[in-house]
Amino acid sequence: MRGNVYIYIAVMSLVSFAVRVLPLTLIRGQIENRFIRSFLYYVPYVTLAVMTFPAIVEATQFPLAGVLALAVGMVLAWLGAGLFPVAVACCLTVLAAELILL
């Protein structure tokens, strides 16, 4: 990394600021397009999923244990279980799978 670190920090902060401010200044009224509204509605969920799902699989000693925990968590969440029971069930699934696979 050559050059002045302060220049890098300034450029990074300008880009971060621009990404947050430009949509507020360029889009004044209500967005009427149905496709764009649905796209913007799902962006936070997709971003969270993209960051979370690979970490679930790679955080375990055996990737299969992570995949099993992900499947158990999805089924329990689909059935309406709360966050704490889903987390406990996923942890127990990883523990059992890693004990069996070890």
pLDDT per position as a tens digit, 34-76: 998 898 888 888 888 888 888 888 888 999 999 999 999 999 9
Confidence of residue 23 (pLDDT cuts 50, 70, 90): confident
Structural domain spans, the chain: 5-101
d(CA 101, CA 69): 14
User: Can you give the pLDDT at residue 24?
Assistant: 79
Does an H or E element contain 76, and which? helix 63-78
Confidence of residue 90 (pLDDT cuts 50, 70, 90): very high
Is pLDDT above 80 for 12? yes
**Cα-based distances in Å from 23 to 19, 20, 27, 39, 45:** 7, 7, 6, 15, 19
